Amino acid sequence: MNKLGHIFLFDDLAHPYFLALSLPILLVLLLELLGRPPGAVTLSTENVLAGLRDRRIDWKRRLPAVLRALGLLLLCVALAGPLRGFHVRKDRAGVIDIMLCLDVSGSMQQPDFTINGHPHDRLYVAREAARNFVNSRRETREGRYGLDRIGLILFSGLAWTQCPLTLDYDILEREIDGASIAPERKQGTAIGSTLGLAVRRLKTSEAKSKVVILLTDGVNNRGELDPVTAARLAKEYGIRVYTIGAGSTEEVVIQQGLFPVRTEAIDEKVLRQMADTTGGRYYLATDTESLMKAYDEISALETTEIDIGDYYEANEAFMSYLVLGALLVLASVFSRRLWFEVLP
Residues near 298 by Cβ (< 8 Å), separated by ≥ 6? Answer: 133, 211, 213, 242, 281, 283
Identify the H or E element spanning 19.
Answer: none
Q: Answer yes or no: is pLDDT of 117 > 50.
A: yes
Strand partners, 214: 101, 243
CATH number of the domain to which 196 belongs: 3.40.50.410
Q: Which of 28-37, 132-141, 184-193, 327-336 has the lowest mean pLDDT?
A: 28-37
Shared-domain flag, residues 115 and 238:
yes
Distance of alpha carbon 145 from the chain centroid: 11
Q: Say what the pLDDT of residue 159 is.
A: 95
Mean pLDDT within 16-38? 74
Q: What mean pLDDT do residues 100-122 have?
A: 92
Neighbours of 232 (CB within 10 A): 13
Tell me the H-state helices in 203-315.
227-236, 268-278, 288-301
Whether residues 42 and 103 share a domain: the answer is: no
Whether 13 and 110 share a structural domain: no
Please check the confidence at residue 136 and state whether its pLDDT lies above 80. Answer: yes
Residue 251 confidence (pLDDT): 65
pLDDT recorded at residue 24: 83
For the chain, the domain total comes to: 2
* Residue 338, phi then psi, degrees to nearest 5: -75, -45
Are 168 and 56 found together in one domain?
no
Q: Does 215 score more than 90 pLDDT? A: yes
* d(C-alpha 308, C-alpha 306), whole Å: 6
| 155 and 35 part of one domain | no
Helical segments of the chain, H only: 3-8, 22-34, 48-53, 58-79, 122-138, 169-177, 191-202, 227-236, 268-278, 288-301, 318-339
Q: Which range has highest mean pLDDT (56-60, 61-65, 171-175)? A: 171-175
Q: What is the DSSP string of 285-313?
A: ESSHHHHHHHHHHHHHH---EEE---EEE
pLDDT in tens, 237-294: 999 999 999 987 776 655 555 555 566 689 999 999 999 999 999 999 999 999 999 9
pLDDT of residue 313: 57
Task: Give the Cα-Cα-Cα angle 223, 229, 234 (nearest 5 degrees).
Answer: 105
Q: What is the pTM of this model?
A: 0.61
- Residue 279 sits in the same domain as residue 338: no
Question: Is 177 found in the same domain as 136?
Answer: yes
Q: How far apart are CA 121 and CA 292, in angstroms?
A: 15
**Residue 105 shares a structural domain with residue 76:** no
Please check whether residues 121 and 202 belong to one and the same domain.
Answer: yes
* CB atoms near residue 54 (< 10 Å): 11
Residue 200 identity: R
Which pLDDT score is estimated for 90? Answer: 46
What pLDDT score was predicted for residue 23? 83
Range of the domain at 164: 92-307
More confident residue, 315 or 117: 117
Q: For residue 226, what pLDDT band results from cuts at 50, 70 and 90? A: very high
Predicted confidence (pLDDT) at residue 304 exceeds the cutoff of 60:
no
Rounded Cα distance, 327 and 332, in Å: 9
pLDDT at 180 over 70: yes
Ranking 114-128, 183-197, 329-343 by mean pLDDT, the lowest is: 329-343
pLDDT for position 252:
61
Closest CA to 271 of 324, 338, 318, 212: 212
pLDDT at 172 over 90: yes
Do 236 and 157 share a structural domain?
yes
Q: Is the pLDDT of residue 340 over 50?
A: yes
pLDDT at 154 over 70: yes
Q: 150-183 as b/e, with b when 16 or more CB fall inside 10 Å?
A: bbbbbbbbbbeebbebeeebeebbebbeebebbe
Looking at the chain, how many residues does it have? 344
Examine the domain organization and report whether 128 and 230 are in the same domain.
Answer: yes
Specify whether 106 is located in the same domain as 46.
Answer: no
Rounded distance between C-alpha atoms, residue 165 and residue 301, angstroms:
20
Look at residue 56 and tell me whether its pLDDT is greater than 60. no
Q: What is the pLDDT of residue 250?
A: 72
What does the pLDDT average to over 134-140?
78
pLDDT digits (tens, 9 = 90+) for 62-95: 777 788 888 788 888 888 888 776 555 544 455 7
